Each structure stands twice: as structure tokens, then as C-alpha cells.
Amino acid sequence: MAFDITRPILLVDDYVTMLRILRNIFVQLKFTSIHEATDGVTALAELRAGDYSLVMSDWNMEPMTGLELLREVRADEKLKQIPFIMVTAESKTENVIVAKKAGVSNYIVKPFNANTLKSKLVSVIGEF
């Protein structure tokens, strides 16, 4: 069954510029319910209050980092199955391994392009 692109997704980044870039790409991909948060704490509250089908988050944020958000999501019975893609400039080996151990669904290093983002989306949620 194809992923339902009308279901809400959450984009998390403390750089508004990056949120706009991500939003634009998702609009081009025909996603219709795109929500945004500029920090991990807000994102977690959003996730707990809503019915999200995907999280795409930056790592380097304050006060809650993307990794902490990921761990919170994976530790939450209601949220733990949500696909979580890290989009970050942190590109060191240890970062990827730690994110993987924390349960990240995929990892996109910045800067990226729309094709990379789409291919990672497909690998996580399937064709849409």
C-alpha cells in the first residue's frame, strides 16, 4: 500500500531557511499536510498532539537536539513507529552510527538536493 501523502508530516529545523527549502520540496512532491517546528521540544509536543506519518529533523538544535528528539520518539509507545529521517550537516562516522543505534530511519547530509531527499523518502516510506 502506497504511502498516503495527504497525512501530516513534521519538518523540524531551527533554520527557517531550511524549513522553507524542505517545505518547497515536499510541495513539489505533492505532500499536502506539511507542518513545521523550529526546535525539538516543540516538535515533540506536536508529535504527541497530532497524528504524524513522518518526521524529518535537523540534529543541531537547542534546547533539545534532533538526536534527543529521536530518542524521545523511539521511547514513546505511541510515536515509536513513525519514520524519522535526520537531515543534518553533521557528517562524521560516529554521528551516523549513534543515530542508527538510536533508531533513525535514514540520514541525509546537508547540503542535499531534491533527488537525494526523494530517494531517501522512498527508501523509508516506499513509493508515493
Partner 1 sequence: MSGIADQEQLAQQLIDLQKAEPGSVRLEDVSAVVAGIMDAARKEMASSDNEVVAKMIGLADYIESAKREIASLRPDEVKDRHLPAAADELDEIVAETAEATNRIMDATETIQGAVADADEATQETIFNASNQIFEACGFQDITGQRVTKVVKALKDIEEKVDSLISAFGDEIAEYKALNIADEQPTDAPADAPVDFDDISDEMLLQGPQLADEAMLQDEIDRLLNSA
Residues lying near partner 1 in the complex (CB under 8 A): 13, 15-18, 20-21, 24-25, 28, 59-60, 65, 67-68, 89-98, 100-101, 104, 106-114, 116
Q: In the complex, what is the shortest distance from the CB of residue 93 to partner 1, in angstroms, rounded to a whole number?
A: 6
Residue keyed to cell 514513546: 76
Q: Is the dihedral of CA 96, 100, 69, 14 positive or negative?
A: positive
Which runs of E-coded beta strand occur in the chain? 9-12, 34-37, 54-57, 84-88, 106-109
Q: In the complex, what is the shortest distance from the CB of residue 50 to partner 1, in angstroms, rounded to a whole number?
A: 25
Terminal CA-CA length for the chain: 9
**With respect to partner 1, which residue has the nearer C-beta, 1 or 92?**
92
**With respect to partner 1, which residue has the nearer C-beta, 1 or 101?**
101
**With respect to partner 1, which residue has the nearer C-beta, 7 or 44?**
44
**With respect to partner 1, which residue has the nearer C-beta, 62 or 77?**
62
Indicate the residue type of 52: Y
Q: In the complex, what is the shortest distance from the CB of residue 103 to partner 1, in angstroms, rounded to a whole number?
A: 12
Q: Are 10 and 35 in contact (CB under 8 A)?
A: yes
From 94, 82, 65, select the one nearest 124 (Cα to Cα). Answer: 82
Q: In the complex, what is the shortest distance from the CB of residue 26 to partner 1, in angstroms, rounded to a whole number?
A: 11
